[in-house]
């Protein structure tokens, strides 16, 4: 499945970067001795992919938002089917509201991935409907909406069939923000088609895929994996690998219910905070977060002091080594008007039902806190 682009440069099959031996700090590096010996029809991986695949170590390489945007703009000039993947657990952080602009006249299939993370009690039909409503609200009108779990290989066959019908003999571009599971999903498609496993490099670090990776389809067309768009509001960009691992759920989320009185506070580790300011007395706050993220309850009047003294100690993550890099918490106020989720971008959400409840949500400056209609 090796590939080269039009200039006959060799491309890393793992991340799509052009292979080069000049600069070890840039994408696609492979020592000259290895690169020279490389055979054009074998799958070649760059050094960064090698380290990611074998040691789960990531090397940061320079790529600007412009590189990504240029790549997306290219698509609007082509006739192609666009498959836009979003992370259903981090919908607001992973939805690209400008997708219709990038897609041009091309049809879009919207894929809600990572359904395995949501409670099993949640019906798929309801989730799908919720996703359609959110897309329409943002002015996006996908041709089809489908839910998948790329890690479990769920609904991958259905997605393949859908792609085959909708692409009408054209190329397929798989796009989305970083970390939504584009490459994992394409790996599952490759596995179903050819039995080859884990061809493309995937990881829990944002920014794994660096260039276009073309997968040949049955006709002369290709399915293209693309680098994810970086959303700077995603909390992942502020966390160390260890912290990121902790806050990223890998299993079905077990909702945690807190009965709070007015003027009580919940700390989500030391990364975010929710204050119940006022409302109709005691009520439930249901937390949908990584099972490993510890929640601390305290009185609102004690919250500031607790945070100042215990950040990086009792309130982790963040851990000590990252305290200086992580921005201070910023406060946002919300009034609940219908059953709603207070979303901490990339961390999860807390759902609240009672209209008239006033709360404050806090997250590191730069990370979004927002309110939306309840998903569950």
Ligand X SMILES: Nc1nc2c(ncn2[C@@H]2O[C@H](COP(=O)(O)OP(=O)(O)OP(=O)(O)O)[C@@H](O)[C@H]2O)c(=O)[nH]1
DSSP-derived secondary structure letter, 78 = S
Residue 182 as a binder of ligand X (CB under 6 A): the answer is: yes
Element (H, E) at 196: none
Sites for ligand X among residues 100-129 (CB under 6 A): 113-114, 116-117
DSSP-derived secondary structure letter, 116 = G
**In terms of CB distance, is 162 or 306 closer to ligand X?**
162
Q: Which of 204, 258, 319, 332 binds ligand X (CB under 6 A)?
A: 204
Binding segment for Mg ion (CB under 5 A), chosen from 140-148, 203-211, 265-273, 300-308, is 203-211
Contact (Cβ atoms closer than 8 angstroms) between residue 299 and residue 338: no
In the complex, the smallest distance separating the C-beta of residue 64 from Mg ion, rounded to whole angstroms, is 17
What whole-number distance in Å separates Cα of residue 357 and Cα of residue 336?
5
Beta strands (DSSP E) in 210-368 are 213-216, 222-225, 256-260, 264-268, 272-278, 283-289, 295-299, 329-335, 340-344, 348-352, 358-364
**In terms of CB distance, is 176 or 279 closer to ligand X?**
176
Residue 162, SS3 per DSSP: helix
Contact (Cβ atoms closer than 8 angstroms) between residue 71 and residue 182: no
In the complex, the smallest distance separating the C-beta of residue 203 from ligand X, rounded to whole angstroms, is 5
Residue 149 as a binder of ligand X (CB under 6 A): the answer is: yes
**In terms of CB distance, is 248 or 265 closer to ligand X?**
248
Beta bridge partners of 108: 82
Q: Tokens 């890099």 — which residue?
A: 325
**In terms of CB distance, is 182 or 212 closer to Mg ion?**
182
Contact partner at residue 184 from Mg ion, ligand X, none, CB < 5 to 8 Å by partner kind: ligand X
DSSP-derived secondary structure letter, 193 = H
Token pair belonging to 344: 């901490």
Contact partner at residue 290 from ligand X, Mg ion, none, CB < 5 to 8 Å by partner kind: none
In the complex, the smallest distance separating the C-beta of residue 252 from ligand X, rounded to whole angstroms, is 9
Question: Using CB atoms, what's the residue nearest to ligand X?
Answer: 228
Q: Which of 106, 148, 187, 209 binds Mg ion (CB under 5 A)?
A: 209
Contact (Cβ atoms closer than 8 angstroms) between residue 140 and residue 131: no
Beta bridge partners of 344: 348, 369
Q: Which of 92, 177, 183, 316 binds Mg ion (CB under 5 A)?
A: 183
Contacts with ligand X, residue ranges (CB under 6 A): 113-114, 116-117, 149-151, 176, 178-184, 202-204, 206-209, 227-228, 250
Residues lying near Mg ion in the complex (CB under 5 A) are found at 182-183, 208-209
């Amino acid at each position: 499945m090796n590939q080269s682009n039009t200039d006959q440069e060799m491309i890393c099959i793992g991340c799509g970067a052009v292979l080069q031996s000049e600069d070890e700090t840039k994408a696609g590096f492979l020592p000259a001795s290895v690169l020279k010996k490389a055979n054009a029809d074998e799958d070649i991986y760059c050094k960064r992919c090698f380290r990611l695949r074998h040691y789960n170590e990531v090397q940061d390489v320079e790529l600007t938002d412009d590189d990504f945007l240029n790549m997306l703009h290219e698509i609007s000039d082509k006739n192609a089917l666009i498959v836009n993947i979003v992370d259903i657990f981090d919908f607001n952080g992973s939805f690209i509201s400008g997708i219709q602009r990038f897609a041009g006249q091309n049809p879009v299939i919207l894929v809600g991935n990572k359904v395995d993370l949501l409670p099993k009690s949640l019906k798929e039909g309801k989730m799908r409907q919720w996703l359609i409503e959110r897309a329409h609200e943002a002015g996006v009108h996908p041709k089809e909406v489908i839910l998948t779990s790329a890690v479990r290989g769920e609904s991958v066959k259905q997605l393949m069939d859908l792609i085959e019908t909708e692409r009408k003999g054209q190329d397929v571009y798989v796009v989305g923000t970083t970390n939504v599971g584009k490459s994992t999903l394409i790996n599952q498609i490759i596995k179903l088609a050819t039995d080859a496993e884990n061809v493309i490099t995937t990881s829990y670090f944002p920014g794994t895929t660096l260039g276009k990776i073309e997968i040949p389809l049955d006709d002369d067309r290709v399915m293209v994996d693309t680098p994810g768009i970086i959303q700077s509001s995603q909390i992942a960009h502020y966390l160390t690998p260890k912290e990121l691992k902790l806050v990223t759920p890998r299993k079905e989320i077990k909702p945690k219910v807190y009965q709070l009185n007015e003027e009580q506070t919940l700390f989500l580790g030391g990364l975010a905070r929710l204050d119940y300011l006022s409302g109709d007395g005691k009520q439930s706050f249901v937390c949908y977060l990584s099972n490993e993220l510890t929640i601390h309850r305290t009185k609102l009047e004690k919250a500031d002091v607790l945070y100042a003294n215990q950040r990086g100690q009792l309130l982790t993550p963040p851990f000590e080594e990252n305290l200086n890099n992580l921005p201070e918490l910023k406060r946002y106020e919300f009034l609940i008007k219908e059953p709603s989720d207070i979303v901490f971008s990339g961390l999860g959400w807390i759902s609240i039902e009672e209209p008239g409840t006033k709360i404050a949500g806090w997250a590191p400056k730069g990370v979004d806190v927002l309110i939306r209609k309840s998903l569950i």
